[in-house]
Amino acid sequence: MTVPCNTGFSELAKFGAGEAADVFKYTAVGKGTGQGAANTKLSSECDETGMTRVASDTTQTVKTTVDNDTIQNIEKFTAGEAVHVKEAGVFNNATIDLGDMLQVGDLSPSADMAKDDTLTITQNTQLKAA
């Protein structure tokens, strides 16, 4: 299950008002679990070859309820070494453990990856009234 993050939504509002310039286009994966709305980074962000935070292959708006109400980030990772991936998040900064996290989610099931395995992460963040 994915959870929207407080600081990410604050920065998204600032972006809409022209007070911030950082786009939420970076995908990161990690080895921890249990992050929630108050968290600002992944529990244990991956730094293994091929699994580090990158600009998403695709960042676009899509329709969940109404046209363009959802930010969609898609990234295909290729492991350079063995790693067990358990979480993913969307960020507005390319550097590990920096920037604002828009959303976070635990993978279900988690992914045991061997060298050259691929993992495609698709994250949708819907913007809607409560």
The tens-digit pLDDT sequence of the chain (130 residues) is 789 999 999 999 999 999 988 999 999 999 999 999 999 999 999 999 999 999 999 999 999 999 999 999 999 999 999 999 999 999 999 999 999 999 999 999 999 999 999 999 999 999 886 6
Residues 90, 48: Cα–Cα separation, whole Å = 18
Query: Taken in order 80, 84, 90, 94, is the CA torsion positive or negative?
Result: negative
* Domain spans of the chain, in order of start: 2-126
Q: Is 10 helix (H, G, I), strand (E, B) or coil?
A: helix
Evaluate whether 51 touches 36 at the Cβ level (below 8 Å).
Answer: no
pLDDT score at 10: 94
Instruction: Read off the pTM.
Output: 0.93
Q: What is the pLDDT of residue 130?
A: 60
Task: Please tell me the distance from the alpha carbon of residue 95 to that of residue 99, in angstroms, as a whole number.
Answer: 7
- Cis peptide upstream of residue 109 (ω within 30 degrees of 0): yes
Task: Decide if 82 contacts 113 (C-beta within 8 A).
Answer: yes
Tokens of 32: 């921890």
